[in-house]
Amino acid sequence: MTVAAAMAILTSCGLDTYIYLYPVSQYYNSPSETDLIRNYISFPTEDVRNASTTYFKGFEIYYRIYNNKETRNSDASSITYQSTNYPATVYSYIINTKKYVRLDAATRIGQYPLIPKNAPSYANQTVKIRLTDYQDYIKCFTVDTADYGLALRTLDGESKNNNANYTFVFDEINDGDVDVTFGTFDDISDKKFYVQMFVLTYGYDEGFKPLYSEAYNIGYLTIRDD
């Protein structure tokens, strides 16, 4: 699939029209691997700033699973560098070079984008993702008051409900899975997986060519071998 840059140019009647999708630019929670109450991702969308762009459709999240913190740190830094310095190619870099895959959700399987724009109000939406239970804090994927069910993995281009292979459960994550970079565990006596995520604003032009913004690092979530 051919992908247009974050800033695309449309030519009509000899006049150039620039398309720019504003990326997500902040998060509400910095996930913690030691304080498990804070082992979740939360951020506001950028509906407000994209409201005047008819090509704007919503937001997509891409992720990859690591079992080594240094490798995760290195890849996340490389993606952020690419996004800052070469924003027109960051989407391709994420999926083709770093092999990130699209996050899905139980109630959104087969629907694009993952998080639709908030029309007609275009108020920013609050996204919250928790992959593991801890005490009274249960795994969830919510967008404002909308419950998306569980966050799901994408394997070989698809996601499925009621299938453990597509869940973010420690024992279901394996070396060789398309969404896993498997190396040496940081601590063999305390094994962890790290799920790194980036969010991109999504849209398409008049020819239905996909458009993506810069990538924004919304953090990583920790999955333990409990």
Tell how strand 180-181 and strand 56-66 pair up. parallel
Q: Would you state the pLDDT for residue 1?
A: 37
Gap between the terminal Cα atoms of the chain: 40
Asked whether 184 and 130 are in contact (CB, 8 A), the reply is no
Pick from 220, 2, 42: nearest CA to 137 = 42
Residue 75, token pair as written in the block: 């890849």
26 has a pLDDT exceeding 90: yes
Q: Would you state the pLDDT for residue 226?
A: 79
- Percent of the chain beyond pLDDT 90? 88
4 has a pLDDT exceeding 50: no
Residue 108, token pair as written in the block: 């959104």
Question: What is the average pLDDT across 144-167?
Answer: 96
* Residue carrying the six token digits 């952020």: 80
Sort residue 157 into left (φ over 0), alpha (ψ -120 to 50) or beta. left
Q: What is the mean pLDDT of the chain?
A: 92
Asked whether 125 and 142 are in contact (CB, 8 A), the reply is no
Q: Would you state the pLDDT for residue 2?
A: 39
| Each residue's pLDDT tens digit, 190-222 | 999 999 999 999 999 989 999 999 999 999 999
Phi, then psi, of 13 in degrees rounded to 5: 55, 35
Q: Would you state the pLDDT for residue 17?
A: 63
Distance separating alpha carbons of residues 106 and 150, to the nearest angstrom: 5
Neighbours of 57 (CB within 10 A): 21
pLDDT-based confidence at residue 19 (cuts at 50, 70, 90) = confident
Asked whether 59 and 215 are in contact (CB, 8 A), the reply is no
pLDDT-based confidence at residue 71 (cuts at 50, 70, 90) = very high
Q: Measured at the alpha carbon of residue 203, what is the angle toward residues 18 and 195, in degrees to the nearest 5? A: 125
pTM comes to 0.92
16 has a pLDDT exceeding 90: no
For the chain, helix (H) and strand (E) counts, in that order, are: 3, 14
